[in-house]
Amino acid sequence: MTTAATPLRAEPMHLLSAEDLPAMTAGNQLLCSAMGASGIDGVTLCTGELLRRHGPVPLISIDSLPEDALCASVGAVGGFAPLIELPPFGDEFTLAVRALEDRLGRRLDAVATLNAAGPNALFPIAAAAALGLPLVDCDGMGRVLPLIHQTTYHLAGLPVTPLAASSQTGDVMVLQTGSTRADRLLRGVVDASGGFMICALYPATAGQLRRAAIAGSTGRLLDVGRLLTAVSGRSALIGGLSRTVGARVLAGGRIVEVGRTDRTVGTRHYPSMPSGIVVQEPGHNGRTVRLEAQNELLLALIDGAVAAAVPDVLCLVDRQRLRLVGLEQATVGDHVDVLVVPADARWHSAQGLALAGPSAFGFPVRHPSEEGRR
């Protein structure tokens, strides 16, 4: 028997509607770390349809929830390329969440977000709309990371499982295992189900979530998206991103090389495709910036020295068109700014860097923040 959800009286900070989706789509690309936006159009259409059918989703502060309110995070696992051919129908969210609720024996009071970046920024909105629940303004990554236990939730001791997953073809799975083993087991099922599944995971009370989550993630993306869709000049864009998410320009110049790379070692357990981009600053004394990527930009070297690295977010902004440039769109000859957005402070702890710093991705270098700890 599944216990009913607790009636909530939390005052929403904002009602997320279909009209907010263009700004959300623009804003969430900033924290994709240049991975591009494969499948985002189908996700946007599905989310918009659910919002129009069920009404706006209340976006609520994590502090407005009672300590014992039950939440679970929603996000997708797998490649986003399959979404181009087969976008979500909308019932995947209900199937995954109801399966998790049946396992827990209790209904959810609110939906949370696994990572508010790329398509995964929209799936929790779609889930909340389909289920008639509020969305908590938080997430567990603050960017895109490849493994489901690379989260501040995991750093705080929250277990990933039990989790439930649903595919576009109606497959439903419930998994109970250790947090670091969950990703490997789950991806075997994801591969067999078409390469993509919607997951409900990290069940936790609001009291637990308060200590584990990055607060304000969805609201921040909305602010960034509004800036990106309205700004009219480079200075205004860079200044706005600095105020909104603390972004700073690392370097700027012309892309002179884009290609595959095999420079990292020990990363075969990551679902990734290593690649690299070289940006050359203008002038005789212009610096050379090399960006290393594994689906997302992870490392920036300036004249051979580490200048920025994961878990901080690296992204490219086209200086003429004032738009974010994904890895798939980066072209030799583009003039870009290389921006770095600082990660949540918990990611800069020793435990955070061990889980999601450059060494976790096979780069034999230290994060710049570690230099001061010697």
In the prediction, which pLDDT does 208 show? Answer: 98
In the prediction, which pLDDT does 374 show? Answer: 54
CA torsion angle 60 63 65 67 (round to 10): 160
In the prediction, which pLDDT does 268 show? Answer: 45
Whole-model pTM: value is 0.91
Residue 191: strand, helix, or coil: helix
Spatial contact of 343 and 313, defined as CB atoms under 8 Å apart: yes
Residues contacting 167, CB < 8 A, separation 6+: 92, 190, 193, 194, 196, 197, 198
What DSSP string runs through 91-108? HHHHHHHHHHHHHHTB--
Residue type, 252: G
In the prediction, which pLDDT does 206 show? Answer: 97
In the prediction, which pLDDT does 39 show? Answer: 57
Spatial contact of 129 and 102, defined as CB atoms under 8 Å apart: no
Q: What is the DSSP letter of 5?
A: P
Nearest to 305 by CA among 373, 372, 365: 365
**Is omega for the bond preceding 162 within 30 degrees of 0, making it cis?**
yes
**Is omega for the bond preceding 87 within 30 degrees of 0, making it cis?**
no
Give the span between the Cα atoms of 107 and 166, in whole angstroms. Answer: 18
Spatial contact of 23 and 222, defined as CB atoms under 8 Å apart: yes
Residue 110: strand, helix, or coil: strand
Radius of gyration of the CA atoms of the chain, in A: 20
Query: What does the pLDDT profile of the chain (374 residues) look like in tens digits?
Result: 566 666 666 678 899 999 999 999 888 878 876 555 555 778 888 899 999 999 999 999 999 999 999 999 999 998 777 777 777 778 999 999 999 999 999 999 999 999 998 889 999 999 999 999 999 999 999 999 999 999 999 999 999 999 999 998 889 999 999 988 999 999 999 999 888 899 999 999 999 999 999 999 999 999 999 999 898 899 999 999 999 999 999 999 999 999 866 554 444 455 456 789 999 999 999 999 999 998 789 999 999 999 999 999 999 999 988 888 888 788 999 999 999 999 999 999 999 999 999 999 999 999 998 875 55
Quote the distance between the C-alpha of residue 92 and its chain's center: 19
CA torsion angle 324 325 329 333 (round to 10): 130
